[in-house]
Amino acid sequence: MRYLPRLKDGRPAPMSWPLALYRRLNHIAWPLEDGVSRRVVLLERFVIFVGFLVFCLHNEVDMHYCLANRKDIDKMLTGMPTYLVLFELQIRCFQLAVKKNAFKRLLQKYYADIYVTEEAEPVIFARIQRQMLATRLNSVAYLMALLNFLLVPVQNIIHHRREMLYKQVYLFDNTKLYFYIPLICANYWVGIIITSMLFGELNVLGELMMHLNARYKLLARDLHRVAQHLLESAHPAEISAKYRRAVVHILRRNVALNQFGEQMELEFSFRIFILFAFSAALLCAMGYKAYTNPSANIVYIVWFAAKLCELLALGMLGSIVYTTTDQLSLMYYSCEWEQIIHKSSNASENVQLMKVITLAIEINCRAYCLTGLNYFRVTLVAVLKIIQGAFSYFTFLTSMR
């Protein structure tokens, strides 16, 4: 009943393994298939509501741990990363749960019009896979961090204790078996939802950006090919008119890509803002724990590496799209229209062609880039500023210690 993306011809779209895991594991964020029954829709809403209550319970007990140990900075920072991630992902995940139909429409548009298939463009497809390698590695790192948490029950059996997966303080005795079993199961479920959301949304966003970037690259290639073909074979009286029609067609494709980019902005802008807003504090807290006692905090080292990889991958992909779209106006300016006009014998068509070229340059005078609620652009520059902020907080904590 989960939505299965399909290509324009109706075939199921090939999905990378992080996206396939995201679809299977995260029933909170991933949309339903079209045409499901009313009963299924109501059941999903009920599950989302119960999941929200489970997240609220975890928020309370995680925060209670931090408050109970506020006078001991080492203990407080042991529970701070899990609380910050839980709070961040509750906002992101359930905001997506509310808007999952819009997310599904975006995916439908993407797989129908934007996705570059391996059969059509094998070289470009292979380049996209290389560009997505960082997000794949990030997915592995997050799964390793989750695996570290899943070792807690094994340690409980060895040491004859009943600890939770995360640092939590309950207002009742959670070690009693009839409390402990459902609570530890809820810990597992929350961990799976959080981890799948962390690497799943990054991979979705990365693929959307890289395939959109490839479509922009194809515009330049097609424009150059049309110009070369007309210069070699077109009649001087018709060359300018034919080239103008080709430029108009490519410009319409250009505008359609810009509109898809605006849809992406509407869908992801808020969640990107939340992601970046929590990142500096998370890197600081995890870096501090890894620095003060690395042998006892392996999970924080892995988690720190995963978070750093996530930010750098997102910034790198955003910078690639920004650089490509920043060159679009230059692409139209240097599309060999001067040679077309030089060869053409139709003065009126030459004027119309120059007007179209001028319009294309004006439309693409601003580079496209995803933003966080228009406060910042998703580029490597923004990521480096976050890392600098995290290092400043880290040096402050170590000096206090």
pLDDT tens-place string over residues 178-211: 888 899 999 999 999 999 999 999 999 999 999 9
The stretch 53-63 carries a mean pLDDT of 93
* Planar angle of CA 230, 236, 241, nearest 5 degrees: 65
CA distance 199 to 274: 15
User: Is the pLDDT higher at 298 or at 377?
Assistant: 377
pLDDT in tens, 226-274: 999 888 887 888 889 999 999 999 999 999 999 999 999 999 999 999 9
- Give the pLDDT confidence score for residue 296 in this predicted structure: 65
Q: Is the pLDDT reported for residue 345 higher than 90?
A: no
CA distance 312 to 4: 29
Q: Which amino acid belongs to residue 194? A: I
Q: Is the pLDDT reported for residue 135 higher than 80?
A: yes
pLDDT in tens, 109-127: 999 999 999 998 999 999 9
Angle, helices 239-292 vs 73-98, to 10°: value is 150
The stretch 150-165 carries a mean pLDDT of 78
φ, ψ for residue 12 (rounded to 5)?
Answer: -60, 135
pTM above 0.95, yes or no: no
Of the ranges 21-35, 68-82, 146-160, 272-286, which one carries the lowest mean pLDDT score? 146-160
Q: What is the DSSP letter of 110?
A: I
CA distance 9 to 201: 25
List beta partners, residue 371: 377
User: Is the pLDDT higher at 108 or at 157?
Assistant: 108
- Give the pLDDT confidence score for residue 401 in this predicted structure: 66
Dihedral class, residue 310 (left if φ above 0, else alpha if ψ from -120 to 50, else beta): alpha
Contacts of 141 (CB under 8 A, 6+ apart): 302, 305, 306, 309
Q: Which amino acid belongs to residue 305? A: A
